[in-house]
Amino acid sequence: MKVGILTLPLWHNYGGILQAYALRLAIERSGHQAILIDVKREPLSKRKKVISHTKRSIKAKFLYGLRKPYYPNEKEVKSISSNTRAFVENNIQPSSGHIRLSNTPKFAKRLDAIIVGSDQVWRPEYCPDLALYFLGFAKKRLKKISYAASLGTDDWRFDTKETTRCSKLLRTFDAVSVREESAIDLLKKNMQVAAIQTCDPTMLLEAKDYLSVADIPSTYPSGGRGIFCYVLDPKELRMQGLLNIGTRLNSELFFIMPKVFDKNYAKSSEDYIFPAVEEWIKALQESDFVVTDSFHGCVFSIIFNKPFIAIANTSRGRTRFESLLKQFDLEERLFDCVVDIDTEVLHKPLNWKEINKKRENLKNEGINFLTSSLNKES
């Protein structure tokens, strides 16, 4: 069976890229051919480009420095994502090739099934086309499945029109699974659809799978480099005091993330380019401890058995952290800001034997869901 994977556009989000890689490999290991539908957003019209450029200019002149986000345009995204896109194009194969969202229905004609998932694919603010991500284009013969689809938040953010349209589409799915526990109730209440919870696709693989794709030998030493700070929003107030963690743990901090995109990009564009996915995986392997405000930073800390502390990234979706950590009884490792970090928790050893046992159970449940959903008669 040819199974398409539809996820959010893949550029420089390490977690997003690796969850797509993991899902492709898991489907392949279940005996089917997995094909990434490698989508990108539609180009802006001339009018919208002018509006976008004007907004950026205003932000740069009047709002920059007031913690207002400053986003790259399509050309700049391609540049800063050059290393990470190389991983997508070289390792998540076969794929559709990099196609516009509008070409998805045409490509889907050659598929037997589509799995939509996982990383916040059903969050209106992030999703480029909600009806498309609820497979509104799919023909009746096409098997439709969601795997660990994420809403990202624990409140309902669809408007009335979106709710009506997408609930009708979701009720035509052959199987529905979501990533966060809160999403089960949200879908039931607002769309009258029953869903089950499955783990993030990255947890369907083992650390050795990621080391292998990064060409890191299994004998490569674990640890020794210090505290890996994988922080998406280092300029946020909640991250103040980050350097003090090194003192509290008597260890060196190291970072690999590029400069946060801002109006100075043109002056030193190379400083904004994201390191390769392989380098990110290597940093995890070499770390002794992880501090992160990323959901997937937490996930990979668990996979690689690295003690960690999570700083809740509320605007990006706090419920993602809570749902994940609850599954491993690790809620105490989540804090609202760096200054709130409890020293006792910081030094508390983790029971990796129990954590790995829970992870293995979640992995098996996820694989069983995939296998049974793909093999079930329509």
We find that the CATH architecture of domain 2-44+72-203+361-375 is 3-Layer(aba) Sandwich (3.40)
CA distances from 160 to 5, 156, 164, 171, 312 (A): 28, 11, 6, 17, 29
Domains 2-44+72-203+361-375 and 216-352 share a fold: yes
133-159: pLDDT as tens digits = 999 999 889 999 999 999 999 999 999
Output the pLDDT for position 314: 82
Residue 115 · residue 134 · CB < 8 Å: no
pLDDT in tens, 185-211: 999 999 999 999 999 999 999 999 999
Q: How far, in Å, CA of 199 to CA of 37, rounded?
A: 21
Rounded average pLDDT over 10-16? 98
What's the average model confidence in pLDDT over 207-228?
A: 97
pLDDT, position 376:
86
CB atoms within 10 A of CB 247: 9
**Residue 56 CA, distance from chain mean position:** 26
- What are the boundaries of each domain within the chain? 2-44+72-203+361-375, 216-352
- CA distance linking residue 269 with residue 16, whole number of Å: 23
Which residues, other chains included, contact 288 with Cβ-Cβ below 8 Å and sequence gap of 6+? 223, 224, 225, 226, 227, 251, 306, 307
For residue 49, pLDDT over 70 is answered with no
Task: Output the CATH code of domain 216-352.
Answer: 3.40.50
Which pLDDT score, from 0 to 100, does residue 121 have?
A: 98
- Please state the rounded mean pLDDT for residues 48-56: 49
